[in-house]
Amino acid sequence: MGSMKTSAFCTLKYIFIIFNVIIWLIGCGLFSVGIWMQVNTGPYINLLPSHYVFGATAIICITGVVALIIGFCGLVGGIMESRLCMVVYFVFNIVVFAAEITIIAIGFSKKSQLQSFVKEELMYSLEFSHNPDIQSNKREGVDNVIDYIQQDLKCCGINNYTDWFNHPAWPGKSYVTDSCCLHEEEECGKSTTAVWFRRGCKGEIDYWFIQNMTALGISALMIIVLQVCTMAASLCLCWGFREDKFRS
């Protein structure tokens, strides 16, 4: 019986170590991506105002650092059988777990505000896109993203194609961008409405979110269950290390 208990404990320990190696590598990856985004000067950085870009990169970097710390504590705690590292590991996981639950709760309670925010950002991007008064290198990223969204979701404008009418790029004209066309061709946006997408991108983006809510919910649930399992494993290992210390 004792050998079976020892075998199960060792198996749990090695699985725990391997899992935290993966977490540590994910943390390295996230931190690297955050740094790359921070220093990157590519056109897509110009899609949003600088405070949004810096905010996104900061969140990715912080997430990476937290994953690095959690993975490191779990790795060292498992290899060195350190109860202190296990306690730190458990506390960090509790903090992250609480933050995740808070974010999910806020996300559900602020759903309408989030939809309004998305619409405002789309309006900002539409006004920014193809605007001749804005420096071309500042505008390129927005143009590419707006064109990609309209072609990929088969939509035009925010509410409908009329959002493009009287745009600063063609004042007084009922034109749209070429990416609004059913079959994108040069200057097709100056043609008739029969060749344009008639639905607005706001509704298509909302529909896309609804379609993916199930997948997002399942993913969030899996992450939460995994966190609970790792926290339980850390407590079991911490207790096991304590018993080994007393026996020695």
Main-chain dihedrals φ then ψ at residue 3, nearest 5 degrees: -65, -40
Of residues 172, 162, 83, the one with CA closest to residue 126: 162
Euclidean distance between CA atoms 208 and 153, whole angstroms: 9
Chain segment 217-226, per-residue pLDDT in tens: 777 788 888 8
Query: Which is more confidently placed, 192 or 134?
Result: 192
Query: Which is more confidently placed, 180 or 124?
Result: 180
Q: Residue 158 burial by CB count (10 A; 0-12/13-18/19+): exposed, middle or buried?
A: buried
**Residue % of the chain over a pLDDT of 70:** 77
Task: Report the amino acid identity of residue 181.
Answer: C
pLDDT bin (cut points 50, 70, 90) of residue 72 is very high
Give the range among 100-104, 119-123, 155-159, 228-232 with minimum mean pLDDT. 119-123
Give the position of tokens 């026996």.
247
Helix, strand, or coil here: 25?
Answer: helix
Take residue 114 and report the two structure tokens written for it: 């989030």
Euclidean distance between CA atoms 60 and 134, whole angstroms: 29
Mean pLDDT of the chain: 80
Chain segment 19-67, per-residue pLDDT in tens: 999 999 998 998 888 887 767 644 445 445 555 556 667 788 888 898 8
Task: Report the amino acid identity of residue 154.
Answer: K
Give the position of tokens 């806020």.
106
Give the range among 37-46, 51-60, 113-122, 134-143 with minimum mean pLDDT. 37-46
pLDDT bin (cut points 50, 70, 90) of residue 181 is very high
Give the position of tokens 């590598």.
25
Residue 73 is predicted with a pLDDT of 92
Q: Transcribe 95-132 into DSSP letters.
A: HHHHHHHHHHHHHHHTHHHHHHHHHHHHHHHHHHTT-T
pTM over 0.85: no
Angle between the N-to-C axes of helices 201-247 and 111-128, in degrees from 0 to 180, rounded to the nearest 10 = 120
The DSSP bridge partners found for residue 196 are: 181
